[in-house]
Every structure is written in C-alpha cells, then in structure tokens.
Structure 1
Amino acid sequence: MARLYILLVVLAVSVIVYALIECIRSAPYEVRSISKPGWILAILFVPLIGAVLWFFFGRPRPARPVPQGPRRGPMAPDEDIAFLRNLDAQRRSKQREEELTRREQELRDREESLGEEGQDNPDGSAR
C-alpha cells in the first residue's frame, strides 16, 4: 500500500512540475483563460488542481498542421501559375500591338514626307 502512495505522489509531482515548466515556457499571448502569472500562481498554490486546470483551460492550443497536398479554394494571384502565364501572354501581346502601331505610324509619316517632296517638284525631278 505504501508503494502505491509513493507512486501516486511521484505521479502528482511529475504532473505539477510538467505543468509549471510548460506554463513558464509558453508565450504570454498564447495562454488562455487567465494571465500567465495567474496560471503560475494557481499551479504553485493549488498544486494538483491548478496543474489539471492548466492542461484543460490554460495551455495554448496546438498549431494545426498545414496540408501539403494540392491546395483547394482561392489562391493568391502570384501563386497561380496559369494566371501568371496568362498575364505574361497578355503583356507580350500588348507589346506586339504597340510595336506594330508604332511601325505603321512611322510608315505613314515616311509616305507623307515622300508625298510632300513629290508635290514640291511638279516635274518630278529632284533638286
């Protein structure tokens, strides 16, 4: 019977020490219910009950793992490869159109300048 009591005391002390260490190591903004110093005092002054309450009501919630598989739902535009390809294709197409428009305008300007030179000399001879 004495061995059982010793085992229970060792178990209770272990739980209290573990709860106290975990409470001290946790970030103050992650602690739930009451403040971090409040939990430390509760674990120290009401040892077993304070430790058990810490595990149920004060301990920070474990972080949820981020799934590594294909992502479902909306994506940010800079993460969507198809969107980026489409954006690049649109940009190149617009550049081609602008280049074509610029060349057409140069050709029109050149034709107009040649036409004006021809009108200056009615006989068509160069000066």
Structure 2
Amino acid sequence: MLRYLPFLLVLALWIYAFIDCLNTPENEVRGLPKVAWVLIILLFGEVLIGPVAWLVAGKVRAAPGRGGRTWVAPDDNPEFLKSLKDEQARNDERLLKNWEDDLRRREEELRRRESGEEPKES
C-alpha cells in the first residue's frame, strides 16, 4: 500500500493545481496567460514541475490583511458579535415580559383568593 503513496501524492498535487488554475480569475494569474498555465500543469504534471511552478509563480497570493480577501473568524467579526448581542437583547426582553405577565397573573389570582372571589379560568 505504501508503494502507491508517492503516486497518490503527485496525483493529488496535480489535481489541486489544475483545479486551482481553472478557478483563478484571469486578473490574478501572473507571468503567463491562464491557458499557458493550464498546458504547463497538464504537460509537466507527472514530474511535479507544472503544479509546483503554478503554486509558486503562477498565482497572485495576497498576504492576509494586505488588501486581499481574508476570512474572519466569527468571534473576531464585529458585525457577527453585534448581531448576537442584538438577538440576546431581544430574547432577554421577551423573557422579562413573560415573567412580568406571569407575576401580574399570580398577583391577580392572589388578590381574588384573599377577597373570596372565584378565580377566572384562563
């Protein structure tokens, strides 16, 4: 089984580079036209020259936080945190209103019992 591992790793790198090249917008391709990069990856994929050349020199890779599109974790995203706070505030308001309504109902029930009135059926 281990004798197939190098072949599988080369194949995986070749497939990754090929798909990455196809999905990269034309304005993010460096050095050569996109079609030329696809041909280089296809023709020199078995010896790793094509895929490695694409990964090293073919695509503009923006450093995180330097104008490129960056992914922000939810706990670092201020908009997400604000939405959580807003949702929590709405839940707290609803819970408080339910408690107040329940307290009023119980107080009214207690007053009726003390005055000897029949309790209302709700």
- Give the TM-score normalised by structure 2: 0.49
Bigger-Rg structure (1/2): 1
